[in-house]
Amino acid sequence: MIKNKKDYLHYIECDRIALSRNKRTIISCFKSWIIKDEVWKFQRALRKYEYAKNCRKGVLSNFYWVITKLRYNRLSIKLGFAIPPNVFGAGLAIAHSGTIVVNGGAKIGRNCRLNVGVNIGTKAGGDISAPTIGDNVYIGPGAKLFGDIIIADGIAIGANAVVNKSFEDTNITIAGVPARKISDKGSEGLLIIT
């Protein structure tokens, strides 16, 4: 969780590396403006909103919080992301725009890579328990994770997997409906570790 400006800068840098984006130079800003790298804009807005929300003190910072929240909300709607603040650790990498839904009760570690169609939520029926996901986890397109489950470090979750039970073995690949272990390989090579 971002608690101060140093944390904010660390999270931004880890996210930049995880997304393979260049450092902010005049040329990279110009390329970003032409190419319209909306996902990177969203991730920066998310981190800025987390910083403003967690560290606000005084009238001016409340104004800053409102402005950052408005930008974050606008980009969320535009890109189809329902990602609440203070859920992901440093090194978040969203592969591209498209529907991604994450419950605010989920806790997700460092270096998580999300693809389109991912849903991380609670069980049906009003349960408030959401998944706890470790570090260095790759979540494939269309994967659904729900309930009070634990996903260990280094796990790769295959496309369209439905994960409704815990997997506490590290560095494995899971896939299928319902998900089961299919390989001992893990997420190595599928994401950039910061």
Within this chain, do residues 122 and 58 fall inside the same structural domain, yes or no?
no
Q: Which of 58, 80, 102 is the last residue of a domain?
A: 80
Q: How many domains does the chain have?
A: 2
Within this chain, do residues 59 and 103 fall inside the same structural domain, yes or no?
no
In a domain, 99, yes or no: yes
Q: List the beta strands (DSSP E) in 2-111.
A: 81-82, 93-94, 100-102, 107-108
How do residues 22-57 score in pLDDT, each as one tens digit?
A: 776 555 555 555 557 899 999 999 999 999 989 877
Within this chain, do residues 41 and 115 fall inside the same structural domain, yes or no?
no
How do residues 99-116 score in pLDDT, each as one tens digit?
A: 999 999 999 999 999 999
Within this chain, do residues 63 and 100 fall inside the same structural domain, yes or no?
no
Helices (H) and strands (E) in the chain, counts: 4, 14
Within this chain, do residues 45 and 102 fall inside the same structural domain, yes or no?
no
Domain limits for position 121: 93-183
- Enter the tokens of residue 32: 């970003």
Within this chain, do residues 106 and 163 fall inside the same structural domain, yes or no?
yes
CATH code, domain with 151: 2.160.10.10
Within this chain, do residues 49 and 117 fall inside the same structural domain, yes or no?
no
pLDDT (0 to 100) of residue 29: 53
pLDDT (0 to 100) of residue 123: 85
Rounded Cα gap, residues 21 and 181, in angstroms: 33
Q: Which of 80, 105, 120 is the last residue of a domain?
A: 80
Within this chain, do residues 140 and 176 fall inside the same structural domain, yes or no?
yes
Within this chain, do residues 102 and 171 fall inside the same structural domain, yes or no?
yes
In a domain, 124, yes or no: yes
In a domain, 19, yes or no: yes
- Enter the tokens of residue 122: 């609670």
Within this chain, do residues 139 and 110 fall inside the same structural domain, yes or no?
yes
How do residues 131-184 score in pLDDT, each as one tens digit?
A: 999 999 999 999 999 999 999 999 999 999 999 999 999 999 999 999 999 999
Q: What is the CA radius of gyration of the chain?
A: 17
Within this chain, do residues 99 and 74 fall inside the same structural domain, yes or no?
no
